[in-house]
Structures are given as structure tokens and as C-alpha cells.
Amino acid sequence: MLLGVDTGGTFTDFVLLAPDGVRIHKVLSTPQAPEHAILQGIADLGIDAPHILRELTVVHGSTVATNAALEGKGVRTVFITNRGLRDLLTLGRQARADLYDLQPQPPAPPVPRELCLETGGRVAADSTTVEPLTQADLAALTEQVRRLAPQSVAINLLFSWLDDAHERAIEQALGTQYFISRSSTILPEYREYERGVTTWLNAWVGPLVAGYLRRLSAGLPGAQVSVMQSSGGTISAEQAAREAVHMLLSGPAGGLAGARFVGHGAGRTRLLTFDMGGTSTDVALIDGALQLTSEGHIGRYPVAVPMVDMHTIGAGGGSIARVDAGGLLQVGPESAGADPGPACYGHGGTRATVTDANLVLGRLRADAFLGGNMTLDEAAARIAVGEVAERLDLTPEEAAVGILRVANEHMTGALRVMSVQRGVDPRELTLVSFGGAGGLHVCALADSLGMSQAMVPVHAGVLSALGMLAAPRERRLSRTVNHLLADVIAGEVDARLASLEAQGRDALGREGVASADITVERSADLRYAGQSYSLTVAWRGVPRSAQQFHDEHERRYGHRLDLPVELVNLRVALRSRAPHVPLAWQGNADAAAAPRQVRLYGIHAPVAVLARVNLTPGRRVEGPALITETVSTTFLSEGWRAVVDPDGNLLLERT
């Protein structure tokens, strides 16, 4: 059996692929110990017996690394670099967060200066040794580290991507009592600052991730545990514990993998996605394949490993509404989270949220939340929204409409960032909504962008967990070259690519992936000589890759230059065959039964409430309507129609 698990800020989602079909489940997250919610959900699903666990593969997205990095709660870490570079991470790129702030407050350094150590072993850009690494250097260094008593060590020497012998020697000298992260392993690429931050982040959160995965695996004896990477592929828990930096966008990557999977099944390959959960909304563009970037950030830190290219804002179902000092209505980014949660959850929350606003307007049904397993407190929601309404001199319903409009505007702005601001017309795309709260807002967002097609996937409320089941095992490796393309010897490039491929095949082989089941993609980062940034194109040899770079540069920026082209980085992506996840949708025979009718604020005629499980393939639903399911609700606005496709997806079109 396959189990996909997505740990979110408010809920932990489960999708179980068993011999008898697909089962879904949700439990409230336990942020202080995420494994508790996972183990609780597995027990609820009745698959915690030892003989079942031995047949179970768990693929999950974890927020442990993300939360630790964002909240500044990593472990005590020593940073080791060459002499004269002690302040490398503190100086960074010296770019201002606010361009016109002439007296900015300096942020706290990533690593306190007393934990930054210098040593020998400096290599030049031509790979010659500028300063040797002596035995005296190693002895002094190990003694300094011993006195500082860290949990982990990050090693980042200059040009380690050319020659990693000195980093290896330091690692060997330090022994096995520390969690050690080497830049030549984590990111063997140029740009010492980005490489240093990525290596430090891996060391800073690595012990936390390793401890979490160890506890989770101990609670699931016999089960095979894998983790979603930020790039959209999975990795074994053992490997993930050593490379925690690859998990910083673990959950969101699962959602995009799921959106791509169901989109391809529905014949929709150009997608604009938004994943609206309880705490935040993630927005991304999918043009056939997942769009990746090596220029992502986590908080204020650059993370140069490949990750899904997305934009995140603090707008979710739990986003708190308030009236500021100027009398304006604000929504988010502060969230009620899982504890205490929105007021309507009845767990002690008293502040109005987007979820409370949807309940007040009737778009959420108090008796149909989580399939009826959790009853919402409508009276508490009215009191919370009423406090906002009183400050605005409005009725609770008018204030609820305002809360949703503000939240929708935040999300519309995020969708424009990933489409309009990148030269892509959103009207040519399909808006794909998922996450527990997404279906309530999909029509309004599509209207704001002038889009006429949208999609609410099957199991949209747990699509990130579903995507983890559909994701292949994957490895991505890279290495900096930094040569003019005209000077590159094709045989040398092929040899380097073959070496990276061999490393990836070996890693996947240790996870049980047969060599015949692995597909390989080779690519290169190219740029014009003198440029700071590059474009990634498929590697097809020197002349064809150069031509592809010129064409892509002209498509992206509107021009091409008569300048030499540089080969910056070589990249290899290796993937296993993706698991088969059947989604054939039947629907219940009760589909023809008359739906119940309810009154919604702002809509004059009664509105039909339909259970999604009763909608058979080919069924058409005219808006306005509410379509409820176990893990989410879809509000089909007036002027929209939904058609159920063979996989159970709701294909929305504006009428």
C-alpha cells in the first residue's frame, strides 16, 4: 500500500492507495511534534498493525525544515571557511531589503561571529593551492570546535567545487560526533555566498530533520518512509536526513506534482495553480512540466538548490481579519493556525478569519465540514465577524463579504506575479484550485483575472498528499564549469555529465530503483559573457545548445546579443518511473436524487447543495451551487458551470 501524507500548518492530510481503492483523511496538525499527527492519522485509517506496516510505503511532505528556518530555531552550528572569509555570510551580497532606506537596521548575522572559524586549505580559481591545509591547522580547528560544542558543522571553502580534498580532510578530522555538511556535497557550484548559506542551512536544520525522521520511522516499524523534495521528486528518509535543505518546499512541491498529474489526465497541461490552506496560499505556473528555480529563498536567505518556482503569501482559511488604526480592513498574514484555529472550530479562537467569513455567508456548511466529522460553531463565527463589523459600522454579512474580497485581492495579486509579470496571459491558462480552502474562492479569482477555465481536482483538499503518491523518486546533481562555450571540449562535458549520472544512478539504486526504470535529463546553465545570471537549456552538444540559448534569451527578454556564450553549470536529473495512481471515478447511484436547497447571503434564489461523491462522470452543475466533500467545499458562482470528468475532476467554465 502507498500512503501520501502532507503536514500543513493547520491540517495533516492523508491519501491511502490500498487494494480496495483510494481513501482520504485529515487530522489537526501537531506543530510541536509533527509525527504525532501522522501516527494518529495512520491509526485512524486502521493501518497501524505490524503486518500492515510491513507492506506500507509512506511518502510525506514535512514542514520541519521550513518551520525551523523561518522561525530561526536551528541548532547550534559552527561555520568553517578559509582565512579572511569569516564574515562571508554576514556580509552577503550587501543588498538592501528596502532600496531607499538609507539607515537600515542591520539584521542579525546568520551565524554568530564566535561560531565562524577560519583555517587553511585555500584553492584558486585554476584549482592550484594558494594556502595548504596543514596538520597544525586541523589540530587547531578540531580543538576550537570541541570548545564551542556545536551540534552541527558547516564546511564551506573557496572553490571546493573544483577540489574538495580539503573539505574532506576537515570532515575526517572532526569525526562522527557532529552533524557535518560539506559545500562540495550539498552544492558543488560557484558563488561562495549562496553556496555557503545553503550549506549552513543544511547543517542548521539537519539534526532537527534527522531526529524527526528517526522518531517517525520508529513509530512505523517495518514501513518504508520517503520524503518529498523541493524539486517535486521523492528521496529516502535516510538520505533526506543528510540533505535537509532539499526539503524546504516539501509540501508545496507535492501539491504541484498532484496538480500536474491530474491536469495531464484531464488534458490540461498549461496551469496556473493556487494551493490555499489554513495558513498560506502558494501560487505557481505549470507549463507541461514543473517550473524549477535555483534562485529561491527561504525567509531572507537564498537557497541555491533546485526547488519549485512559486510565490507564497500569508492568506489562508485561518488568516485573521482586523481593522487597523486608520479604519481599514486588513486580512492576514497573521493566522489562527491549528491552535486555537478559527473561532468556528470551537477550540478557543476568538478572532475573525476567512473561514469564519465563509461560514457566516453560508458557503461553508456547519454540518458538512470534514464529512460531518467536525461540526463548526456558527454562533462563535458570527460573534468574531461581528466584532470586525462593529468597527466598520457594517452588518456581520457585509463584513464577511469584505473579508473575502480583501483575501481574494491578495491572492489575485500573487497569481499576477506568476503570470502577468512573467509575460504570460492568464486567460490562456486553466486555474487549478486545491487545498482545503481553495474551492471556495476559485470562481472569484478566475473572474478577477479574466480567465474562463478552471479546475477543482478530485480530492482537491488533499492534493498535496495525492501528489506525493504520483511523484517519482528523483535525484538532481550539478557542478560548475565556468568556461566559454567555444572553448569547451565536447568529450570533457560528456565525461562530467556521465560522472554526475553515475552518482545519481547509484543513489537511486540504493533505494531499490532498477537502472532500466530511470530516465535521465541533461541540461546546462548558459549566459552571455559578462552576465551575472544564466538560463537553463537542455544539453544537446555545443552548437545546438548555444542556438537554443539564443532563442530562449530572445523569447524571455526580447533580444539576443552578439557575444560569446559561457557554460556555467552542468545539471543532471534522474527519475524513476512514477507510481500508478488510479483515479477512475464512479459516483454513487444517488446522483439523481434532488439536492437540498439553502439560502446564501447575496443570492436571491435558493442554492443547491450537492455531495461531490454523488456526481457521476458527465454530470453538469450550473452555478450558483455548493459542492461539498469530505475535505473541502467548492462554491460555484453564478455564471459558471461545472462538468465532472472521468477521473472525478470538476472542470469549470464561465458561461
Instruction: Convert 198-210 into a string of H (helix), E (strand) and C (coil).
Output: HHHHHHHHHHHHH
Backbone angles phi, psi at 307, to 5 degrees: -150, 160
The H-assigned helical ranges of 427-489 are: 442-449, 463-470
- SS3 of 55, please? coil
Name which residue leads in pLDDT, 626 or 1: 626
Q: Give the pLDDT confidence of 162-189 residue by residue, as tens digits.
A: 999 999 999 999 999 999 999 999 999 9
- Out of 575, 605, 623, a domain closes at 575
* 405 domain-assigned: no
Averaged confidence pLDDT in the chain:
91
Regarding whether 139 and 37 lie in a shared domain, the answer is no
**Do 455 and 652 form a contact (C-beta atoms < 8 A)?**
yes
CATH of the domain at 56: 3.30.420.40
Regarding whether 508 and 598 lie in a shared domain, the answer is no
- The band of 460, judged by pLDDT with boundaries at 50, 70 and 90, is confident
Rounded to whole angstroms, how far apart are CA atoms 387 and 322?
9
pLDDT at 592: 55
How far is residue 436 from each of residues 51, 98, 277, 280, 633, measured CA to CA in Å?
A: 32, 35, 5, 11, 8
What is the amino acid identity at position 353? Answer: T
- Out of 179, 207, 235, a domain closes at 207
pLDDT at 365: 85
Regarding whether 531 and 494 lie in a shared domain, the answer is yes
177-186 burial, b at 16+ Cβ within 10 Å, e below that, comes to: ebbbbbbbbb
Kind and range of the H or E run holding 435: none
Query: Which residues pair with residue 289 across a beta bridge?
Result: 287
Rounded to whole angstroms, how far apart are CA atoms 196 and 214?
27
Reply yes or no on whether the pLDDT at 398 is more than 90.
yes
Q: Which three cell numbers stand for residue 391?
A: 468597527
Q: Give the pLDDT confidence of 328-337 residue by residue, as tens digits.
A: 999 988 888 7
How far is residue 296 from each of residues 69, 211, 316, measured CA to CA in Å?
A: 14, 26, 22
For the chain, what percent of residues have pLDDT higher than 70?
98
pLDDT at 372: 65
**Do 74 and 200 form a contact (C-beta atoms < 8 A)?**
no
Reply yes or no on whether the pLDDT at 159 is more than 70.
yes
Query: Which residues pair with residue 478 across a beta bridge?
Result: 571
Name which residue leads in pLDDT, 299 or 322: 322
* 467 domain-assigned: no
pLDDT at 584: 67
Regarding whether 181 and 57 lie in a shared domain, the answer is no
Regarding whether 528 and 486 lie in a shared domain, the answer is yes
- Out of 207, 239, 273, a domain closes at 207
Q: Which three cell numbers stand for residue 536?
A: 537553463
Regarding whether 65 and 214 lie in a shared domain, the answer is yes
CATH of the domain at 190: 3.40.50
* 569 domain-assigned: yes
* 404 domain-assigned: no
pLDDT at 651: 97
Query: Which residues pair with residue 5 across a beta bridge?
Result: 14, 60
pLDDT at 593: 60
* 580 domain-assigned: no
How far is residue 9 from each of residues 27, 50, 58, 416, 467, measured CA to CA in Å?
A: 11, 29, 20, 25, 18
CATH of the domain at 552: 3.30.1490
Regarding whether 218 and 195 lie in a shared domain, the answer is no
Q: Give the pLDDT confidence of 304-332 residue by residue, as tens digits.
A: 999 999 988 888 888 999 999 899 999 98
Of how many residues is the chain composed? 655
Regarding whether 601 and 515 lie in a shared domain, the answer is no
Pairing of strands 565-575, 224-228: unpaired
Q: Which residue carries 468597527 as its cell?
A: 391
- The band of 594, judged by pLDDT with boundaries at 50, 70 and 90, is low
Q: Which three cell numbers stand for residue 587?
A: 459516483
Q: Which residue carries 552533524 as its cell?
A: 179
Reply yes or no on whether the pLDDT at 371 is more than 80.
no
How far is residue 484 from each of residues 131, 481, 492, 525, measured CA to CA in Å?
A: 28, 9, 13, 12
Domain count, the chain: 4
* 112 domain-assigned: yes
- The band of 442, judged by pLDDT with boundaries at 50, 70 and 90, is very high
Backbone angles phi, psi at 313, to 5 degrees: -130, 160
pLDDT at 590: 56
- The band of 457, judged by pLDDT with boundaries at 50, 70 and 90, is very high
Regarding whether 172 and 159 lie in a shared domain, the answer is yes
Rounded to whole angstroms, how far apart are CA atoms 401 and 360?
9
Residues 145-168: what's their mean pLDDT?
96
Regarding whether 202 and 216 lie in a shared domain, the answer is no
pLDDT at 448: 96
Give the CA angle between residues 199, 205, 207 to the nearest 5°.
110
Helices (H) and strands (E) in the chain, counts: 17, 35
What is the amino acid identity at position 129? Answer: T
Residues 204-209: what's their mean pLDDT?
94
pLDDT at 227: 93
* 287 domain-assigned: no
Residues 6+ apart with CB under 8 A from 11: 26, 27, 28, 29, 277, 278, 338, 436
Closest CA to 370 of 123, 106, 10: 10
Rounded to whole angstroms, how far apart are CA atoms 413 and 418?
9
Backbone angles phi, psi at 23, to 5 degrees: -125, 145
The residue range of the domain holding 179 is 73-207
Regarding whether 191 and 127 lie in a shared domain, the answer is yes
* 435 domain-assigned: no
Regarding whether 518 and 487 lie in a shared domain, the answer is yes
Q: Give the pLDDT confidence of 491-548 residue by residue, as tens digits.
A: 889 999 999 999 999 999 988 899 999 999 999 999 999 998 899 999 999 999 999 9
Please give the sequence-ordered ranges of beta strands (E in DSSP) within 406-451, or none if there are none: 430-434
Q: Which three cell numbers stand for residue 602?
A: 447575496
